[in-house]
């Protein structure tokens, strides 16, 4: 028993160090690239969208650097090796890409305008900040920078490590807090939407991050760790949130539906896994204990017994 306790302590310390390095490096990269927003550097406002895009690469770059540092190219390949390619994986990719579009269609059905007030369909793929992009370029930019740029770090690196120590719900709460802090410089972006939010809207945004995070956790665990599915879901949700369809409260309606969906996931699948499948976790380093102790800890982690 004492050996197992030592193993658990060593494992927790190892995971804490990995996560501290990841969040510290992700913040450093993103906040450095976003420094024109909060420092008087004299950067023209029309160049700021490019800094926004580059800064969103921080979580992915931090994850890749740390994975390569720990296990070389094999560590990076693990990001795509948690699930087998087949019908099940294709299904989750389709859900990741299509679910936000389905939510948008529900909102359109709920807010059908009068005949004289038609939807601005051209605004679907042209957010205010990136109106200079073509529709295809806009989708590609969202998928690469906002989707993969963030999700390789948040769900690909941080979430499975947090789930090794905590329940899926608790892991999501911790990750959401760190995710929210990461956005800090964007509240100084004159071309983005964060700068114009009031106190009530910020509270609503934080709550939607928590419930939205439960959806990401559900998608990640259900798909056996598909970072691609999470990246598609993230990017298309951003497309929906930023769409200008002549629906005055589109982001409010979207946030409300995301909240209801997240609460449904929490009620149906319970906090331990937030999905019908086991949690996706990382292996405990063998150097921290014996293989038998490793096996015992892995079983406890998958059962969600540690909250």
Q: Give 31-65 pLDDT, tens digit per residue.
A: 999 999 999 888 887 788 889 999 999 999 999 99
d(CA 126, CA 121): 10
Virtual CA dihedral for 101, 263, 185, 135, nearest 10 degrees? Answer: 0
| Mean pLDDT of the region 170-198 | 92
- Answer yes or no: are the C-beta atoms of 179 and 22 closer than 8 Å: no
Q: Which domain holds residue 88?
A: 2-303
Q: Is the dihedral of CA 136, 138, 139, 143 positive or negative?
A: positive
pLDDT tier for residue 83 given thresholds of 50, 70 and 90: low
Out of 115-119, 204-208, 299-303, least confident range? 299-303
Q: Say which residues have a Cβ less than 8 Å from residue 85's Cβ, sequence separation at least 6.
A: none
| pLDDT at 287 (0 to 100) | 45
The percent of residues above 70 in pLDDT, for the chain, comes to 80
| pLDDT at 301 (0 to 100) | 36
Cβ-count burial 275-286 (b if 16+ within 10 Å, e if not): beebbbbbebee
133-176 per-position pLDDT tens digit: 888 888 999 999 999 999 999 999 999 999 999 999 999 999 99
Structure tokens at 189: 């972006």
User: To which residue do tokens 């999905």 refer?
Assistant: 275
* Alpha-helical segments (H) within the chain: 2-33, 35-38, 48-55, 58-77, 87-110, 135-141, 149-153, 159-165, 168-182, 199-222, 227-242, 250-273, 291-303
d(CA 86, CA 80): 13
Say how many domains are in the chain.
1
The answer, yes or no, to whether residue 293 has pLDDT greater than 70, is no
| pLDDT at 80 (0 to 100) | 66
User: To which residue do tokens 């038609």 refer?
Assistant: 118
Higher-pLDDT residue of 72, 171: 171
Mean pLDDT of the chain: 83
| pLDDT at 264 (0 to 100) | 94
The answer, yes or no, to whether residue 207 has pLDDT greater than 70, is yes
Out of 82-91, 196-205, 211-220, least confident range? 82-91
Higher-pLDDT residue of 239, 5: 239
Closest-CA residue to 158 (of 66, 56, 286, 273) = 66
| pLDDT at 235 (0 to 100) | 95
């Amino acid at each position: 028993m004492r050996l197992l306790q030592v193993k658990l302590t060593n494992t927790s310390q190892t995971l804490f160090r990995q996560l501290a390095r990841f969040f510290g490096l992700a913040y450093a990269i993103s906040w450095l690239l976003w420094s024109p927003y909060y420092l008087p550097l004299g950067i023209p406002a029309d160049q700021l969208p490019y800094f926004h895009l580059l800064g969103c690469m921080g979580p992915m770059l931090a994850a890749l650097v740390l994975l390569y540092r720990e296990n070389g190219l094999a560590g990076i390949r693990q990001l795509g090796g948690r699930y087998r390619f087949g019908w099940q994986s294709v299904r989750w990719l389709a859900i990741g890409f299509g679910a936000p579009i389905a939510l948008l269609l529900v909102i359109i059905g709920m807010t059908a305008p009068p005949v004289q007030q038609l939807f601005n369909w051209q605004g679907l793929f042209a957010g205010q900040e990136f109106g200079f992009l073509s529709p295809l370029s806009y989708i590609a930019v969202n998928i690469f920078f906002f989707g993969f740029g963030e999700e390789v770090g948040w769900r690909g690196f941080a979430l499975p490590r947090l789930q090794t120590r905590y329940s899926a719900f608790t892991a999501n709460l911790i990750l959401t807090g760190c995710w929210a802090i990461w956005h800090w410089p964007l509240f100084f972006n004159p071309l983005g939407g964060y700068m114009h939010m009031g106190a009530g809207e910020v509270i609503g945004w934080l709550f939607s991050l928590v419930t939205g995070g439960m959806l990401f956790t559900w998608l990640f665990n259900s798909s056996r760790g598909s970072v691609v599915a999470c990246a598609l879901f993230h990017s298309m949700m951003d497309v929906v949130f930023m769409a200008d369809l002549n629906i005055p409260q589109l982001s409010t309606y979207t946030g409300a539906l995301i909240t209801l969906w997240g609460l449904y996931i929490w009620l149906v699948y319970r906090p331990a896994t937030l999905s019908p499948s086991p949690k996706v976790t990382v292996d405990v380093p063998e150097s921290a204990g014996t293989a038998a102790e490793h096996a015992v800890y892995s079983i406890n982690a998958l059962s969600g017994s540690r909250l």
